[in-house]
């Protein structure tokens, strides 16, 4: 199951669309603001003559809806504020938004009108493709941003798919026995993918270029003994559906969600081993801090799951979302059950600011 062919959020503006169910992602984007502003300041300082006269900013994995413009808007405002502070003419800015081909680019392109400007010059565009491939010409980018995207892998680990090893099987004992190997395979796939991501961006950034990214993860003192709560919840809901005959057990055991939540130490180690970037700052904070507290209401949480995972579930199992929702509602029918589950499975967001070495 290759990410570049199947991973996209629910499109449009409906009740279960990503556009209407992305407040947690928006909260995380806003927490990146100080890192982006600091990166702009450093870009000016590193060039000695303040900012260059032309700048290119890219958001990789922009998705759609109101969040698509948040990071690049922060960057453009930071550039203009910098120029006002130092009494310099603003550079001409090109803003590029990237995501996979199945992303809702119709919505994205319409929203880009809000950024376009003739004075100061801000031009916009989109780049369709996987960020695990080359997207831009060499030495053309000044700032790269990405939020809530890099936990998606290029594909499920081949050592599992080619050997028909289930990521989350029906048999509980067999699942527990294979879990360490499965998690190791996912961790190795993330290491391979994130290393490639860094290599590609290093080629596309100008000397001294900056990158600010964030992704779901875990603290380094938390052992990788299970999948993230959302992956666990989805797998357990689908497992019940398989046991009830709603979906095929064989289909269930061949289902892989291509995502991985690294620890901050894993992330730091990969960056240092790859060698193209120095770490200016790394932040680790609670995934739910500053987020929408209504998301712990089961109905809202289920809608969030649909907004993010419905396309990949339907692609593998067919149109089973009504039964998925019914099973999920039963899972969290007891008052406080969802809150208890979330509190017992803490996850964090990792945000890191990088400078091209």
**What's the whole-number average pLDDT of the chain?**
87
80: alpha, beta or left, given left = phi > 0 and alpha = psi -120 to 50? alpha
Say if CB 229 and CB 342 are below 8 A apart. Answer: yes
Distance (Å, rounded) from C-alpha 27 to C-alpha 304? 15
Residue 9 pLDDT > 70: no
Position 288 scores a pLDDT of 57
Highest mean pLDDT among 218-227, 231-240, 261-270, 306-315: 261-270
Mean pLDDT of 152-172: 93
Kindly state the tokens that stand for 341. 């589950």
Distance (Å, rounded) from C-alpha 184 to C-alpha 179? 8
Per residue in 75-125, pLDDT (tens digit) is: 999 999 999 998 989 999 999 999 999 888 888 888 898 899 998 999 999
Distance (Å, rounded) from C-alpha 167 to C-alpha 227? 10
CA dist list (Å): 228 to 3, 44, 137, 186, 262: 18, 39, 36, 12, 10
What's the gap between Cα 205 and its chain centre? 20
Mean pLDDT of 124-152: 96
Per residue in 248-303, pLDDT (tens digit) is: 999 999 999 999 999 999 999 999 999 999 999 999 988 754 444 555 788 888 88
Alpha helix stretches (DSSP H) within the chain: 3-6, 23-31, 33-46, 70-85, 105-111, 158-161, 172-204, 229-243, 249-253, 264-274, 298-317, 321-331, 337-343
Residue 66 pLDDT > 70: yes
Per residue in 233-259, pLDDT (tens digit) is: 899 999 999 999 999 999 999 999 999
Distance (Å, rounded) from C-alpha 101 to C-alpha 79? 30
CB atoms within 10 A of CB 152: 21
């Amino acid at each position: 199951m290759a990410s570049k062919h199947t991973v996209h959020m629910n499109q449009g503006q409906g009740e279960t669309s990503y556009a209407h169910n992305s407040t947690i992602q928006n909260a995380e984007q806003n927490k990146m603001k100080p890192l982006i502003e600091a990166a702009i300041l450093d870009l000016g300082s590193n060039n000695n003559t303040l900012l260059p006269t032309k700048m290119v900013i890219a958001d990789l994995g922009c998705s759609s809806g109101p969040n698509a413009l948040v990071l690049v808007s922060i960057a453009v405002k930071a550039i203009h504020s910098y120029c006002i502070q130092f009494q310099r003419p603003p550079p001409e800015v090109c803003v590029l938004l990237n995501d996979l081909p199945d992303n809702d680019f119709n919505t994205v392109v319409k929203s880009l009108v809000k950024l376009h400007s003739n004075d100061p010059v801000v031009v916009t565009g989109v780049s369709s493709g996987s960020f695990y491939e080359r997207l831009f010409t060499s030495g053309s980018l000044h700032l790269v941003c990405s939020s809530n995207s890099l936990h998606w892998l290029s594909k499920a680990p081949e050592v599992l798919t080619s050997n028909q090893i289930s990521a989350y099987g029906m048999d509980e004992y067999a699942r527990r026995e294979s879990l360490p190997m499965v998690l190791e395979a996912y961790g190795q796939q993330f290491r391979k993918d994130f290393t490639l991501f860094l290599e590609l961006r290093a080629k596309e950034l100008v000397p001294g270029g900056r990158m600010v990214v964030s992704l779901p993860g875990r603290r380094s003192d938390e052992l990788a003994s299970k999948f993230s709560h959302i992956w666990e919840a989805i797998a357990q809901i689908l497992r019940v559906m398989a046991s009830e005959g709603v979906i095929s057990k064989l289909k269930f055991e061949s289902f892989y969600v291509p995502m991985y939540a690294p620890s901050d130490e894993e992330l730091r180690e990969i960056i240092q081993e790859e060698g193209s970037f120095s770490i200016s700052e790394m932040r680790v904070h609670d995934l739910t801090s500053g987020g929408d507290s209504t998301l712990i209401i089961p109905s809202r949480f289920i809608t969030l799951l649909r907004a993010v995972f419905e396309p990949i579930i339907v692609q593998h199992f067919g149109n089973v979302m009504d039964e998925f929702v019914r099973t999920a509602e039963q899972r969290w029918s007891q008052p406080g059950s969802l809150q208890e589950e979330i509190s017992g499975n803490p996850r964090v967001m990792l945000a890191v600011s990088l400078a091209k070495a």
